[in-house]
Amino acid sequence: MRPAFSRPLTLWRLLDGKPGHEKQTLGLAQALGRLTDCRCLDIAVPARGVRFLSWLAGRFPAGDGLPAPDLILAAGHATHLAALAARRAHGGRIAVLMKPSLPLAWFDLCLIPEHDAPPARSNALATLGVLNAVTPGGEKVQDDGLFLIGGVSPHYRWDDDEVIRQIRAVIDATPEVHWRLTDSRRTPASFMARLTSATTGTHLEILPHATTPPGWLEQTLSAAGQAWVSEDSVSMVYEALTAGCAVGLIRLPSTHDSRISRGIATLVRDNWLTTFNDWRQNRRLPPPPGRFDEAGRCAEEILKLWFRNAN
């Protein structure tokens, strides 16, 4: 139920120019907007030296003349001092996404992925993965499928041939599905060339990420009934889950036991993900066991904390 506010909630969304960070704050801002009336102002953070001096002086010129913030959203190290300066100069509360580089006590709320082992603090909220800008729910087209491919990672050993083998097995077993595939900035050029050769004549449409327009991934996921994601692509795993897709995991050998691999193992254990080896046994990709909406959950917690009785 939407809280009855006498005015919109004013959000300042601090931008550091990194798409991954900005998607996180966008997802939270959109989730808040689904729950209550909001106006969101996007503010680019100043240069590094300016951020430090602004914080020391208690000034944030980028916010001068703007409506005062109720909530300042920040993701990425470059936004932390800027957020503190903005709060000191203009008021409001700070919600920082991901584990900050500065002491947690300096922020009003820290939304920290569970795999980063957030401490037991009243101002820390554990999340399942990082937040994203995918809208949960929506009508699914079961014969519409998507492959999301990552690439070189410090946590997994990339293998062109092994990834292509798994992709080819899935498309050969599902002739009724219209498959699309997109890559990422980490995908080796060798992989895309070899994949094109290995899937010629199949029902796979290859769309390099550089050719897709802004918002394409979110829009495509919202309709896709199923998605296969390479194991290294943790953010895309959470985006596919948020969209409500049945999600398969293209397996890669891990280089070591890490917080990333442990987080993936937890999702597999709890039946959010189906590994390629498990799928191969019965050719079935089950739907997720529930609704996955971490941005919505965090937005609800923020409203409960501070804004239920705003006036």
> What pLDDT does residue 4 have?
45
Inter-CA distances, 230 with 64, 135, 150, 263, 267, Å:
45, 21, 6, 14, 14
The two three-digit tokens of residue 283, written as one number? 């050719």
> What pLDDT does residue 257 have?
81
> What pLDDT does residue 309 have?
60
Model confidence pLDDT, tens digit, residues 268-311 = 999 999 999 999 999 999 999 999 999 999 999 999 999 976 44
CB 292 within 8 A of CB 241: yes
Model confidence pLDDT, tens digit, residues 112-157 = 998 888 999 999 999 998 999 999 877 899 899 999 999 999 999 9
Model confidence pLDDT, tens digit, residues 235-262 = 999 999 999 999 999 999 888 888 888 8
Pick the CATH number of 9-133+294-307 from 3.40.50.2020, 3.20.20.120, 3.40.50.2000, 3.40.50.300: 3.40.50.2000
Class of domain 141-282: alpha beta
Q: Which residues does 218 contact at the CB level (< 8 Å), separation at least 6?
A: 133, 134, 135, 239, 243
pLDDT tier, 6 (very low <50, low <70, confident <90, very high otherwise): low
> What pLDDT does residue 272 have?
96
The pTM (predicted TM-score) of the whole model is 0.89
Q: Can you tell me the distance from the alpha carbon of 89 to that of 125, in angstroms, rounded to the nearest whole number?
A: 26
Could you give the residue range(s) of every CATH 3.40.50.2000 domain in the chain?
9-133+294-307, 141-282
Q: Can you tell me the distance from the alpha carbon of 134 to that of 136, in angstroms, rounded to the nearest whole number?
A: 6
Q: Of all residues in the chain, what percent carry a pLDDT higher than 70?
A: 95
Tallying the residues shown for the chain, one arrives at: 311
Highest mean pLDDT: which of 3-12, 54-63, 126-135? 126-135
Nearest to 264 by CA among 191, 157, 204, 272: 272
> What pLDDT does residue 2 have?
47
Residue 194 per-residue DSSP state: H
> What pLDDT does residue 254 have?
87
